[in-house]
Structure 1
Amino acid sequence: MRLPNTAHTARPWRIHELVGDFVLEDVWALPTPGGPDEFGRFVEIYSDDSRSKGSVIADALFAIRWKLGALFGLDKTDGGLDSRVASLRDRVPEDLRTGPRGPDFGVFTSLYLTDDEWAAELANRTCHAVMHMGWVSDGAGGHHAEMAVLVKPNGLFGKAYMAGIKPFRYWLVYPPIMRSLAKDWQRRNVGRTAG
């Protein structure tokens, strides 16, 4: 479920220290009900590259994006982290830098992992982006993950690109990914409680 930006900005997340020059694009509540100590398991499941990521349509859109990226050179290494833009690793405070970094996954490079936060970044010729996951209490003893996507578009092209993909993200990418994550979370919870 999509949330207002204040669901992310009102929390004292450590990521705020790193992304003052980024734009908050999206905030989503993820269908991952769990206990207070299950964030590590959530990170493990979410970052599992073998996990189904969505629907045939979402997979097709990602495949098209990677083909267009190759055709137009959007994802060349000279347009990425530590080439076109500096990684946010240099902004990570010492206490987070010396702690667990968390898993890299897909095209994302992990920045840090705490008991209730995980952040990873990517950069290409369109933007520098951060995916932030937080483990949030529901106030009644339960918890769930919330995802925030923060971006720094690369010029006018990057702004146009982000605006152009917005409807696809909202209608064709995020919903099936959320459904797939909910199924995986529930399946692994059933297996865990049965074991």
Structure 2
Amino acid sequence: MRLPNSAHTTRPWRIHEIAGDFRLDDVWDLPTPGGPDDLDRLVRQLTAPELPYRDSPVARALFAIRWKLGALLDLDRPEGVAGARVPTLLDRLPADLREGPRGPEPANGRFRSLYQTRDEWASEISNRTVHAVRHIGWVPDGNGGYRGRMAVLVKPNGLFGRAYMAAIKPFRYFAVYPAMLRGIGRAWQAEAARAEHAHTG
């Protein structure tokens, strides 16, 4: 479920002090009910090789088109990644986060982990169109449990980047994010079922 921006901006996340010049693009509740210490489980799921939209033909087709366009237009060349063409946010981390755990590196190799705390994890991606942050928070659900919350922060690269982000926005809202959230929910439930079976078996 998409949430108002205030669901992210009103919480005392560490990312605020690191990516203050990025625009908050989206905030989503994740279908990942759990306990207070389950962020690490969610981060492992999100960095696994299996893509959360793999069961959606529409989302798979859209991503395939995106990667083909990226190759054709040279959008994803190495000098576009954070730390090469643009400064990585790792350079902005305060000492305690720089010396603390970063979390696992995403298996797809496109994102780079920045830091992980007990209740948040952040990773970055950069190419010729945008420098973006995926922020995962672990928040109380109001009913005694906890769940994940995802925020996407962006800094488009010039006029082309802004035009590109505007052009893909409808596809992200109506195809990519719904498929991604369903996939995250199914994977979360499947892992919970396996853990329950192992516990009772």
TM-score, length-scaled by structure 1 = 0.97
Kept after mapping to 1: 8 A contact 2:52/2:179: no
What is the CA–CA distance in structure 2 between the aligned matches of 1:180 and 1:81, rounded to whole Å? Answer: 27
Question: 1:55-94 residue pairs with structure 2 within 5 A?
Answer: 55-94=56-95
**Partner of 1:188 in structure 2?**
191
Q: Which runs of 4+ in 1 moved over 3 A?
A: none
What is the CA–CA distance in structure 2 between the aligned matches of 1:7 and 1:72, rounded to whole Å? Answer: 36
Match of 1:117 among 97, 117, 120: 120
What is the CA–CA distance in structure 1 between the aligned matches of 2:158 and 2:125, rounded to whole Å? Answer: 16
**Partner of 1:163 in structure 2?**
166
Q: What amino acid is aligned across from residue 24 of structure 1 in structure 2?
A: L
Kept after mapping to 2: 8 A contact 1:130/1:151: yes
Kept after mapping to 1: 8 A contact 2:53/2:176: no
Kept after mapping to 1: 8 A contact 2:136/2:149: yes
**Partner of 1:133 in structure 2?**
136
Kept after mapping to 2: 8 A contact 1:36/1:141: no
> 2:159 matched to 1:175?
no
What is the CA–CA distance in structure 2 between the aligned matches of 1:104 and 1:6, rounded to whole Å? Answer: 28
Deviations 1:39-69 (A, max 9, x none): 1111111211124434111111111111100
Q: What amino acid is aligned across from residue 35 of structure 1 in structure 2?
A: G
TM-score, length-scaled by structure 2 = 0.94
What is the CA–CA distance in structure 2 between the aligned matches of 1:19 and 1:129, rounded to whole Å? Answer: 10
Kept after mapping to 2: 8 A contact 1:8/1:27: yes
**Partner of 1:12 in structure 2?**
12
What is the CA–CA distance in structure 2 between the aligned matches of 1:17 and 1:52, rounded to whole Å? Answer: 29
Kept after mapping to 2: 8 A contact 1:45/1:51: no
Equivalent residues, number: 195
What is the CA–CA distance in structure 2 between the aligned matches of 1:138 and 1:79, rounded to whole Å? Answer: 38
Superposition deviation, residue 134 in structure 1: 0.2
What is the CA–CA distance in structure 2 between the aligned matches of 1:161 and 1:52, rounded to whole Å? Answer: 23
What is the CA–CA distance in structure 2 between the aligned matches of 1:53 and 1:61, rounded to whole Å? Answer: 11
SS of aligned partner of 2:100? coil
SS of aligned partner of 2:3? coil
Superposition deviation, residue 10 in structure 1: 0.3
What is the CA–CA distance in structure 1 between the aligned matches of 2:42 and 2:63, rounded to whole Å? Answer: 23
SS of aligned partner of 1:45? helix
> 2:31 matched to 1:28?
no
**Partner of 1:103 in structure 2?**
104
- Over the aligned positions, Cα root-mean-square deviation in angstroms equals 1.0
**Distance change >3 Å, CA 15–CA 52, structure 1 → 2:** closer
SS of aligned partner of 1:136? strand
What is the percent sequence identity of the aligned residues? 59
> 2:47 matched to 1:47?
yes
